[in-house]
Chains A and B, each alone.
Chain A
């Protein structure tokens, strides 16, 4: 029921206010004397060489894509896991064995293709 979420909403409002207070208001307490050197991004003491908005390894994208596939499958399993004991029994088990076998095949495929290697 949506009524159950009323406490969550209340708490959300409280901690959002707290978060705003801590990020925006508390820093006003301290001193503020900005200089040019303080504003530079930290690069171990030297003047930053080039922009930090640069390209990065494609493996990170690949990991994120694989994560979406496998995590959605994991979330699919949750409703099934709730019902297996009370309603689904062996029928649900057989269906899910097929589903998990497909996940395992997918994992074996990306493994074999070398998508999990970092070099």
Chain B
């Protein structure tokens, strides 16, 4: 076999192995996030939460999964059959694909000499083992592009159902998602300016002395607010405000089709928290200098879990916004603040 064919085969095999790992980890994370969400909600409301299935309710996600799998799937008459099925599949696929460029540890060099310095990811003479599935130099743009596909799934799902509540929910949701996506894009420009790269591993490596959250506190707040809206979390969960819209865009979905939307929502939560960790919280860097650095993935997962818990805490702390206020908040507060933050940061970077 020629050298080129060997390297292509190697790349595909490595990608398949990493892909299976990512799917497995994300599915497990989704299952246990649903449990964690219910447990945290229950504790905040002085309840116990699910505790019947297995010790402390740890088998609850399994029971939920079996139930979703074996439910009858009913679908409304007059739906657009292809789009109705496409929407949940697209939601889940886009959510998982976005995770493929997130690095959870620095590149490990197998067999060769590691390039000098903490900023180097080169590996002459050996095989560089990247801890992301695809080591793209435009990683951040890739994530922004793929997560935007989620808007299509929500709108197509709501429209294809041929029902009024899903249509209203889908309209609201798309308008909200695109408005806050802009705020998110502007907020992420800060770390990009400071790092001078769109490759996520390089961005993390640039934070080895100081995490960007300390240089970009405003950017971090803007990003986190936008991320709550992007994932349809309270206080921005207008698309599925159950008191007015039944369940929003997925009202007409049952069984596993609903399960896919649900899965996409939780995987998106994991993704936005991972992006926040990579761009602002130093990725796999240890939180204190005296802690061991070789535990990279542990620190990464720890930071992501803390952010996820923060999202659940926010859910039970703030009331839901009214829709017009929500849109105005995005356009009249977050966008100008994002522009101001961008200008300040770029002056700082250009003159430094």
- Taking a contact as CB atoms closer than 8 A, the residue among A26, A34, A63, A90 that contacts B179 in the complex is A63
The one of A5, A20, A64 that contacts B89, using a Cβ cutoff of 8 Å: A20
Contact A78 B339 (CB under 8 A): no
Q: How far is the CA of A60 from the CA of B170 in the complex (A)?
A: 11
Chain B residue numbers with a CB within 8 Å of A10 are 11-12, 15-16, 19
Identify A14's interface contact among B16, B260, B324, B347, CB under 8 A: B16
Within 8 A of B (CB), among A67-118: 67, 70-71, 74-75, 77-78, 81-86, 88-90, 92-93, 96-97, 100, 103-104, 107, 111, 116-118
Is the beta-carbon distance between A7 and B85 smaller than 8 angstroms?
no
In whole angstroms, how far apart are the Cα atoms of A62 and B46 in the complex?
Answer: 44
Taking A7-B15, A19-B92, A30-B69 as contacts, is the C-beta distance between A53 and B162 under 8 angstroms? yes
Contact A88–B350 (Cβ < 8 Å): yes
Q: Does B163 contact A (CB under 8 A)?
A: yes
**Binary contact track B21-36/A, C-beta < 8 Å → 1, others 0:** 0110000000000000
- Which of B140, B164, B171, B189 has the most chain A CB atoms inside 10 A of its CB? B164
Structural contact, B171 and A56, CB atoms closer than 8 A: yes
Q: Which residues of A contact B197 (CB under 8 A)?
A: 82
Tell me the bound Cα distance from A15 to B23 in angstroms.
8
Whether A52 pairs with B162 at a CB distance below 8 angstroms is yes
**Nearest CB on B from A84, distance (A):** 6
Residues of chain B within 8 A (CB-CB) of A23 are: 85, 88-89, 256-257, 260
A47 within 8 A of B: no
Task: Tell me the minimal C-beta distance from A15 to chain B in angstroms.
Answer: 5
Q: A6-B12, A10-B12, A11-B19 are in contact. Are A41 and B78 (CB under 8 A)?
A: yes
B74, B140, B324, B342: which has the most chain A beta carbons within 10 Å?
Answer: B74
- Measured in the bound complex, the distance between the Cα atoms of B1 and A77 in whole Å is 45
* A19 close to B89 (CB less than 8 A): yes
Question: Which of B15, B70, B182, B323 is close to A29, meaning CB atoms less than 8 Å apart?
Answer: B70
Q: Decide: B85 and A43 in contact? CB cutoff 8 A.
A: no
Residues 9-20 of chain B, each 1 if its beta carbon lies under 8 Å from chain A, else 0: 001101110111
Cβ contacts B125-169/A at 8 Å (1 or 0 each) = 000000001111100111000000000000000000111111110
Kindly list chain A residues whose C-beta atoms are within 8 Å of the C-beta of B182. Answer: 67, 70-71, 74
Please tell me if the beta carbons of A11 and B164 are within 8 angstroms of each other in the complex.
no
Q: Which of B47-55, B295-303, B329-337 contacts A (4 or more CB under 8 A)?
A: B329-337
B350 to chain A, nearest CB (A): 4
Interface residues on A, range: 35 or more
> Are the C-beta atoms of B162 and A11 separated by less than 8 Å?
no
A82 contact set on B, CB distance < 8 A? 192, 196-198
Residue in A closest to B145 when the chains form the complex, CB atoms: A75
Contact (Cβ within 8 A) B342 A100: yes
In the complex, A71 Cα to B185 Cα: how many Å?
8
Of B15, B97, B350, which one neighbours A92 at CB under 8 angstroms? B350
Query: Chain A contacts of B14 at CB under 8 A?
Result: 7
Instruction: Assess the B347–A93 pair: CB atoms within 8 A.
Output: yes
**Which positions in B face A, CB cutoff 8 Å?**
8, 11-12, 14-16, 18-20, 22-23, 69-78, 85, 88-90, 92-93, 96-97, 100, 133-137, 140-142, 161-168, 171, 174-175, 178-179, 181-182, 185-186, 189, 192-194, 196-198, 246, 251-252, 255-257, 259-260, 323-324, 327-328, 331-332, 335-336, 339, 342-343, 346-347, 349-351
Q: List 23 A-B contacts (CB under 8 A).
A: A4-B135, A5-B134, A6-B8, A7-B133, A14-B16, A14-B19, A19-B93, A23-B256, A27-B256, A30-B255, A42-B251, A43-B164, A44-B246, A51-B162, A54-B164, A66-B331, A74-B189, A75-B141, A78-B198, A92-B350, A93-B347, A97-B343, A100-B342
Write the residues of chain A forming the contact surface with B, with a CB cutoff of 8 angstroms: 3-8, 10-12, 14-16, 18-20, 22-24, 26-27, 29-34, 38-44, 48, 51-54, 56-57, 59-60, 63-64, 66-67, 70-71, 74-75, 77-78, 81-86, 88-90, 92-93, 96-97, 100, 103-104, 107, 111, 116-119
- Can you add 13 more A-B contacts, CB < 8 Å, to A10-B11, A81-B192? A12-B93, A15-B23, A19-B92, A20-B89, A22-B259, A29-B70, A30-B70, A41-B163, A42-B246, A64-B174, A67-B182, A83-B196, A85-B349
